[in-house]
Amino acid sequence: MKTFALKLDQLTGEDYYEIYTRGRQLLNDPHLNKASAFTREERLSLGLEGLLRTGVSPIEIQVERAYEAFSRKTDDLERYIYLIGLQDRSEPLFYRLLVEHLEEMVPIVYTPTVGQACMQMSHIQRRFRGIYITPDNIANIDQIFGSIALPQVNLIVVTDGERILGLGDLGSDGMGIPVGKVSLYVAAGGVHPAVCLPICLDVGTNNQRLLEDPLYLGYRQPRLRGAEYEEMVEKFVLGVRRNFPDTLLQWEDFAKQTAFKNLDRYRERILSFNDDIQGTGSTALAALMTAMRIKQSRFQDERYVIVGMGQAGTGIAMNIRAMLKAEGLTDEEARKRILAVETQGLLIEGDPLLEGPQEPLAQRRAAIDGWQLDDPNRIGLKDVVRNAHPTVLIGVTAQPGLFTEEILAETAKHCERPIVLALSNPTHKCECTPEAVWKATDGRGLVATGSPFAPMDWHGKSLQASQCNNMYVFPGVGLGALVCKASRVTDGMFLAASRAISAFVTPEQEALGLLLPGMKDIRKVSAEVAKAVGIEARNAGLGRLLSDDQIEAVVTKAQWAPGYTPYRPGTLRQEY
């Protein structure tokens, strides 16, 4: 049953919520609970008299009180539990606190701490957020969606929990990722929380630790596979289309084969994208664009080694390939500049383990003639670096320390300013630390990592690594696609997003080695990305026919600033 609706007073022009619940039920609704901020008038009209202490605290005082409680927590997991508890009590207060302390709290509500939380989710669960769809309840999906209390749903983040960060199959304990992504959509992008819905397709797990854990709360069966799994996903998508036809669907943390299949199957049928493929690729491309500006180089002047050809690695490679072709290179010329490395070593044409998206990235055998190899039956990372002399190293493997001192030093031998993107999350999965890069390159390396690292003093100069966080891309892409009413999300929109992000990096930030904007500017960055996406959608004939200024105005108005909206009592009319 709907608990509230967004309304506009036609006489005064005032925005307000029409409230359909009363008393204790209202206080228990995280979307609506203002706690001590309820006004005297609201307390009287909504059945709250006597349920609250006398004092009325504006949200600014509540934020001060909440931050004091947050600061008393002794470790990051406890801070995560506190923030999720606050979100379960009052979403407006949670988001106001998060926005005011964004740089401090993003590593708590998302990477790296969310990974630790997902590993223990069944042990720390307090309240359930979002929707869980299982093989046992998929037949009732219309009833499930019909029971949602939100006034409308415009944004869904969905996972099946099979590839959570670099941690693997966590079943429905992976719901922490869609919940965290929704938090970033709101805090960074300004999407209103009342239109966002996290969903877990709980299709079981092959994680024996979870199956044997008596506290595990998920669907306690081996993971659904094959035709049965695909049929369930199809029923889910059809349910979304029937119930929420204007919704953007973000696929999140699916296994590689599933992720590419879902993206290809549904990107033309429903407004959707995969953040692990397209968002990661777009964020990395933005960092590389800035690096090229710092080096005064072109994409075609560089040689790229990408290790880990899953969703992220393939997405990054395809973005680099698109930029090389945009600079005038042919497919074959682009192929020679991107060296893709997987578990079997360098991808080479004819490899029986090659998968569809990897085919354009496999090297021709003639390209490696004459290479000096440690093992003639396998071309490993050291072989690639020693023979190809890369200028860009990109790691998305979840293998800590993969970029060894030897690898980094060899790269630095042949390049004045190597670019190293060590992108695996959480922190302990990172391929190398920024410090290792700077030591190997005498402070010349340009670095971005998946999780945040502290700056380093290098001979009196501060060196900084950017956090290559998809948060720079997906909130703005989602906001832009929604407000411009795009019919689908295209690769061109992600390219426009990359350009907008890189353009936001100032010369002062570039001098510090930063490749991406500061986190403190994330809402402004998201607005620029949303505007760029809206313009690209319009130009491609896929969005509203608005001028650039009109698109900017719509984006600005759509960005929600966390706070309390006035409430008025209402009566929900039942439709028969």
Q: Supply the residues annotated as catalytic.
A: 110, 181
User: Are 561 and 94 contacting, i.e. CB atoms less than 8 angstroms apart?
Assistant: no
Indicate the helix (H) or strand (E) that contains 557: helix 548-558
Closest to 260 (Cα-Cα) out of 322, 309, 296: 309
User: Are 145 and 186 contacting, i.e. CB atoms less than 8 angstroms apart?
Assistant: no
Structure tokens at 143: 């009833």
420's CB contacts (< 8 A; 6+ apart) are 392, 393, 394, 403, 408, 411, 432, 437, 445, 446, 447, 448
427's CB contacts (< 8 A; 6+ apart) are 112, 451, 452, 453
28's CB contacts (< 8 A; 6+ apart) are none
Closest to 20 (Cα-Cα) out of 568, 575, 576: 568
- How far apart CA 173 and CA 158 sit, in angstroms, is 13
Closest to 366 (Cα-Cα) out of 381, 382, 350: 350
- Chain-centroid distance, C-alpha 58: 32
Closest to 250 (Cα-Cα) out of 286, 199, 195: 199
Give the position of tokens 């759509």.
558
Around Cβ 104, how many Cβ atoms within 10 Å? 14
Per DSSP, what are the bridge partners of residue 421? 394, 448
